[in-house]
Structure formats: structure tokens, C-alpha cells
């Protein structure tokens, strides 16, 4: 799959997420031992939304980040966008966040690399495990920059290639053996859970990813490594004044 590009890559990704949609959340909780819930809390906290803010959850999948946003900020308006209808369908069947109105969450199908959204619209754009899937990362980041209001925040959670240290063999075993086996057991889709280690291994490390955010025009860029440096949260801000 690593060699697929453009529409072919998009079709592959959509087909894979459609097949795993019903078991996606359970698989996330299992393979991260529940840690992803804590990471999502941090992503939303770092979005620093105003009480009447607008948030875009891009590559929202089943909407875990969108619901966490409404848990932390019940009065904001959230748009969850993904190009796999099956993932959003599962998310729409989930109960809404407590205290929030169901109308605070809108779902929309769109490609993160060509958003049918106006410029300068959102106070924050968040994503969970999306960036690694994009065929053109620079285009994906420029779209997020475009739809953010000046001063708006980008916060992204994604896996990073395993670090070269004493734990590397253990981490590689977890990625390449344990995760596909769990994927087969829980969702019957070992291939989808070979895609995860493959794309993780070939993705950017945190320093290079932060450099790409700066290149895209963001300022105040930073990142936080998690889970033995196998996952990172990135953040940045669109400048208040056009550069």
C-alpha cells in the first residue's frame, strides 16, 4: 500500500476504514490499553476553545475527539469531517457527550485535502491519527491553515516511528506482531492492522513533523511525545496577522 498515491490511495484507505468501522473504537482502546482516551483529552485541552468557539474535527472517524470536545466545552459548535461514511455512521449511533446538545455536533463528508469550507472559519482544527494517512501532507496542512481563523489553533495526534533505543525490539514486536494479531482477533482484519505499523514506520518523526507545521505557516509550534515515544501530540497557531 505504501506505493499507492492519489485517488487509488484514498480508495484503499476508505475501503479499509469501512471494513473496520464497527470494531474501530474497541480496537483503539485495546491496543493502547485505554491510553488513547487520555491523549484525546489533552488534544482537546490544547485546542483552547472559547465558550462560543467553532471546532473542526478532521478525519473524525467515529467522532471520539468531537465528543470529547463537547464534554470539555459543552457550548462550542463542532463539525466532524471524514471521507469514510462507514466510520461516521458508527459515530452517529454513539450517545452524545453528557451536558451537550446533540445539535452542537454536525457531521460532513469531505476530503481533508480539499475542504468545501470557507477560509477563516474555525477557532481550532483537531485531528486524531489522520495526518499519516494523507497522500499530500503539505496540502492537508495548508487546508487546515486556510479554514482556521487568524489566531486559531491546530492540534494533531498521530503515531511516530519507533525510537532507536533499548526498547525498539519490544516496540517493533508490539507494532508488527501484537497489533495485527489483535486486529485479526477483534475485527477479523489483520491487513488493516498491518497498515498501521507500515504507515507509522514510514511517517515523520516529531521534529520533522514540527518543521512541516512551521513550513505550513503555523507559529508557536510544539509537540509532546507519549507512550514510549510512539505517539505524539503536535500543536501550532495561525498567526493573527497575515505574514
Which stretches of the chain bind ligand SAM, using CB under 6 A?
13, 17, 28, 59-61, 64-65, 82-84, 87, 111-113, 128-130, 133-134
Q: Output the smallest distance, CB 8 to ligand SAM, in A.
A: 13
Closer CB to ligand SAM, 85 or 167, in the complex: 85
Measuring CA to CA, which residue among 26, 174, 166 is closest to residue 94? 26
Q: Output the smallest distance, CB 160 to ligand SAM, in A.
A: 14
- H helical segments located in the chain: 6-20, 24-31, 35-46, 64-72, 85-92, 137-147, 168-173, 179-187, 192-202, 206-215
Q: Cβ–Cβ contacts within 10 Å for residue 106, how many?
A: 11
Closer CB to ligand SAM, 60 or 175, in the complex: 60
Closer CB to ligand SAM, 59 or 197, in the complex: 59
Q: Output the smallest distance, CB 61 to ligand SAM, in A.
A: 2
Q: Output the smallest distance, CB 165 to ligand SAM, in A.
A: 26
For 105, the grid coordinates are: 455536533
Closer CB to ligand SAM, 64 or 123, in the complex: 64
Side-chain half-sphere CA neighbours of 165 within 13 A: 8
Angle subtended at Cα 36 by Cα 216 and Cα 82, rounded to the nearest 5 degrees: 55
Q: Output the smallest distance, CB 112 to ligand SAM, in A.
A: 4
Q: Output the smallest distance, CB 83 to ligand SAM, in A.
A: 4
Closer CB to ligand SAM, 28 or 189, in the complex: 28
SS3 203: coil
Measuring CA to CA, which residue among 73, 78, 72, 74 is closest to residue 55? 78
Q: Output the smallest distance, CB 203 to ligand SAM, in A.
A: 12
Per DSSP, 205 falls in state P
Closer CB to ligand SAM, 49 or 134, in the complex: 134
Residue 237: strand pairing partners: 153, 219
* Backbone angles phi and psi of 44, in degrees to 5: -70, -40
Closer CB to ligand SAM, 75 or 113, in the complex: 113
Amino acid at each position: 500500500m505504501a506505493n499507492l498515491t492519489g485517488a487509488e490511495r484514498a480508495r484503499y484507505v476508505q475501503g479499509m476504514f469501512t471494513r473496520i468501522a464497527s470494531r474501530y473504537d474497541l480496537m483503539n482502546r485495546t491496543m493502547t490499553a485505554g491510553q488513547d482516551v487520555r491523549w484525546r483529552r489533552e488534544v482537546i485541552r490544547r485546542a483552547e476553545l472559547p465558550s462560543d468557539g467553532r471546532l473542526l474535527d478532521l478525519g473524525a472517524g467515529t467522532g471520539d475527539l468531537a465528543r470529547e470536545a463537547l464534554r470539555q466545552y459543552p457550548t462550542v459548535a463542532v463539525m466532524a469531517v471524514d471521507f469514510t461514511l462507514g466510520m461516521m455512521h458508527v459515530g452517529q449511533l454513539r450517545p452524545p457527550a453528557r451536558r451537550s446538545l446533540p445539535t452542537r455536533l454536525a457531521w460532513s463528508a469531505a476530503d481533508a485535502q480539499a475542504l468545501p469550507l470557507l477560509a477563516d472559519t474555525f477557532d481550532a482544527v483537531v485531528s486524531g491519527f489522520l495526518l499519516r494517512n494523507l497522500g499530500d501532507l503539505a496540502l492537508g496542512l495548508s487546508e487546515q491553515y486556510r479554514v482556521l481563523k487568524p489566531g486559531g489553533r491546530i492540534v494533531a495526534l498521530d503515531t511516530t516511528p519507533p525510537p532507536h533505543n533499548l526498547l525498539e525490539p519490544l516496540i517493533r514486536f508490539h507494532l508488527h506482531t501484537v497489533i495485527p494479531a489483535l486486529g485479526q482477533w477483534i475485527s477479523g482484519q489483520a491487513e488493516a492492522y498491518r497498515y498501521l505499523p507500515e504507515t507509522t514506520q514510514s511517517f515523520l518523526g516529531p521534529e520533522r513533523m514540527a518543521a512541516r507545521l512551521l513550513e505550513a505557516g503555523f507559529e508557536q509550534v510544539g509537540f509532546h511525545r507519549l507512550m514510549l515515544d510512539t505517539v505524539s501530540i503536535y500543536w501550532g497557531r495561525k498567526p493573527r496577522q497575515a505574514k
